Amino acid sequence: MKPDLFEAPDYYNLDDLLSEEHKLVRDAARDWVKRDVSPIIEDAAQKAEFPKSIIGGLAEIGAFGPYIPEEYGGAGLDQISYGLIMQEIERGDSGVRSTASVQSSLVMYPIWKYGSEEQRQKYLPKLASGEWMGSFGLTEPDHGSNPGGMTTNFKDVGDHYLLNGAKLWISNSPFCDVAVVWAKNEEGRIHGLIVERGMEGFSTPETHNKWSLRASATGELIFQDVKVPKENLLPNKSGLGAPLGCLDSARYGIAWGAIGAAMDCYDTALRYAKERIQFGKPIGAFQLQQKKLAEMITEITKAQLLAFRLGQLKNEDKATSAQISMAKRNNVEIAIKIAREARQILGGMGITGEYSIMRHMMNLESVITYEGTHDIHLLITGLDITGLNAFK
Ligand code: TGC
Ligand code: FAD
Q: Is the pTM of this model over 0.85?
A: yes
Of the candidates 198, 196, 69, the residue with the CA atom closest to the CA atom of residue 125: 69
Q: State the greatest distance between any 2 C-alpha atoms of the chain, in Å, as a whole number.
A: 79
Cα separations (Å) of 73 from 77, 136, 392? 12, 20, 42
Residue with CA closest to ligand 2 atom 17: 391
Residue 84 has pLDDT above 90, yes or no: yes
Say which amino acid occupies 19.
Answer: S
- Residues 72 and 77: their CA atoms lie apart, in Å, by 13
| Cβ-contact 161, 191 below 8 angstroms | no
Of the candidates 99, 119, 81, 92, the residue with the CA atom closest to the CA atom of residue 171: 99
Query: Rounded mean pLDDT of 347-364?
Result: 98
Structure confidence by residue, pLDDT tens digits, 173-190: 999 999 999 999 999 999
Structure confidence by residue, pLDDT tens digits, 282-303: 999 999 999 999 999 999 999 9
Beta bridge partners of 282: 277
Give the nearest ligand 2 atom to 143 CA.
52
Query: What is the reported pLDDT for 14?
Result: 97
Q: Quote the percentage of the chain above a pLDDT of 90.
A: 99
Query: What is the reported pLDDT for 248?
Result: 98
Residue 1 has pLDDT above 80, yes or no: no
- Residues 61 and 42: their CA atoms lie apart, in Å, by 21
Query: Rounded mean pLDDT of 120-124?
Result: 98
Residue with CA closest to ligand 1 atom 32: 146
Residue with CA closest to ligand 1 atom 23: 241
How far apart are the CA of 244 and the centre of ligand 2, in A?
Answer: 14
Query: What is the reported pLDDT for 72?
Result: 98
Residue 106 has pLDDT above 90, yes or no: yes
Relative to the alpha carbon of 147, which ligand is closest?
Answer: 1
Cα separations (Å) of 165 from 28, 135, 182, 200, 305? 41, 16, 10, 14, 42
Which residue among 90, 99, 139 has the greatest number of ligand 2 atoms within 8 angstroms of its CB, and so is best to mutate? 139
Query: What is the reported pLDDT for 2?
Result: 79
215: left (phi over 0), alpha (psi -120 to 50) or beta: alpha
Query: What is the reported pLDDT for 19?
Result: 98
Count of helix runs (H) and strand runs (E) in the chain: 12, 9
How far apart are the CA of 50 and the centre of ligand 2, in A?
Answer: 22
3-state percent breakdown (helix, strand, coil) of the chain, nearest 5:
55, 15, 30
How far apart are the CA of 240 and the centre of ligand 1, in A?
Answer: 7
Q: Quote the percentage of the chain above a pLDDT of 70.
A: 100
- Residues 105 and 67: their CA atoms lie apart, in Å, by 9
- Residues 96 and 88: their CA atoms lie apart, in Å, by 10
Does the CB atom of residue 94 touch ligand 2 within 6 A?
Answer: no
Beta bridge partners of 195: 179
Q: Residues with Cβ < 8 Å from 107, sequence gap 6 or more?
A: 127, 134, 135, 136, 178, 180
Of the candidates 281, 275, 288, 261, the residue with the CA atom closest to the CA atom of residue 344: 288
Of the candidates 137, 134, 153, the residue with the CA atom closest to the CA atom of residue 197: 134
Give the nearest ligand 1 atom to 392 CA.
30
How many other CB atoms are there within 10 angstroms of residue 292's CB atom? 21
Active centre residues (catalytic) = 371
Q: 216 burial class (0-12, 13-18, 19+ CB within 10 angstroms)? A: buried
| Cβ-contact 108, 151 below 8 angstroms | no
